[in-house]
Amino acid sequence: MLFKVEMVVRLPVDMPVAQADALKKTERELAQELQRSGKWRHLWRIAGQYANVSIFDVASVDELHQLLTSLPLFPYMDIEVTALCRHPSSIHEDDR
């Protein structure tokens, strides 16, 4: 199942820099691992914001929920999820 996930990160302004840097490092490592596995299919930064638009390819809504809640920055994110399906007018044979 494909999902478009929009994530906006809102770290507390009073969070110590070392703590924020550690969270970001752990988040990056997990995100890259999930990309290598194929579950986090695409990841794009939204220009001018601490936010991204991503495409996830998972077996179920439950798997997506587990994956998103496992992200180190999850407690500081506003997340919007949209389920996706193929469009009948698409010229592509796959869901790339």
Q: What is the pLDDT of residues 27-85, one digit of tens each?
A: 999 999 999 999 999 999 999 999 999 999 999 999 999 999 999 999 999 999 999 98
pLDDT of residue 95: 66
Bridge-based pairing of strands 77-84 and 2-9 is: antiparallel
Structural domain including 69 reads 2-84
Residues 6+ apart with CB under 8 A from 82: 3, 4, 5
The reply to whether the predicted model has a pTM over 0.75 is yes
9-33 average pLDDT score: 98
Domain count across the chain: 1
- CATH number, domain containing residue 37: 3.30.70.1060
CA dist 7 → 4, 45, 65, 83 (Å):
10, 10, 13, 15
**Distance (Å, rounded) from C-alpha 82 to C-alpha 60?**
13
Instruction: Kindly state whether residue 79 falls inside one of the protein's structural domains.
Output: yes
pLDDT of residue 11: 98
Report whether pLDDT(96) > 70.
Answer: no
Instruction: Kindly state whether residue 33 falls inside one of the protein's structural domains.
Output: yes
